[in-house]
Amino acid sequence: MANVTLGGNPITVAGKFPQKGDTVADFSLTAKDLKDLGLKDFAGKRKVLNIVPSLDTAVCAKSTKVFNEKAGSLLNTVVLVISGGLTARAVIVLDEKNKVLHSELVPEIKQEPNYDAALAALK
């Protein structure tokens, strides 16, 4: 479990957050076309998991735009924006075999992630 804040108010986030060197197991998401989608669908590609609380906020929209523009244009790299009322903002960068190259659980939900650190993991 970890703690983050929203406007300075503490929020406990359950679970174990992946750390550099961990391997992330496949998981299932629902795509915008309502079909199931998982890491296996991007096998052999590097992945930027941009985890946002809600796409209708300015910070979430900005992080989506920045990662899509900067990481989405890199060879062999996909950006997955994951939203669903989560109580945290995070970025996880995976290599082609789903090994964590970079992970950041943003301590204050209203703050942007460290774009430079995440993108540096892709170089």
Question: CATH says 18-120 is which class?
Answer: alpha beta
Tell me the chain's radius of gyration from C-alpha atoms.
Answer: 14
Q: Are 91 and 118 in contact (CB under 8 A)?
A: yes
Select which of 39, 60, 79, 91 is catalytic.
Answer: 60
Domain ranges of the chain: 18-120
- pLDDT category of residue 91 using cuts at 50, 70 and 90: very high
Mean pLDDT score, 37-58 = 94
Is 3 an annotated catalytic residue? no
Neighbours of 112 (CB within 10 A): 15
Query: If you search the block for the tokens 């903002």, which residue do you land on?
Result: 89
pLDDT, residue 55, reads 85
Q: What are phi and psi of 90, to 5 degrees?
A: -155, 160
- Digit-coded pLDDT (tens) for 8-35: 999 998 889 999 999 999 999 999 899 9
Residue 45 has what DSSP assignment?
Answer: S
Q: Is residue 86's pLDDT more than 70? A: no
pTM, rounded to two decimals: 0.94
Name the helix (H) or strand (E) containing 120.
helix 115-120
Distance between CA atoms of 25 and 3, rounded to whole angstroms? 23
Arithmetic mean of pLDDT over the chain: 94
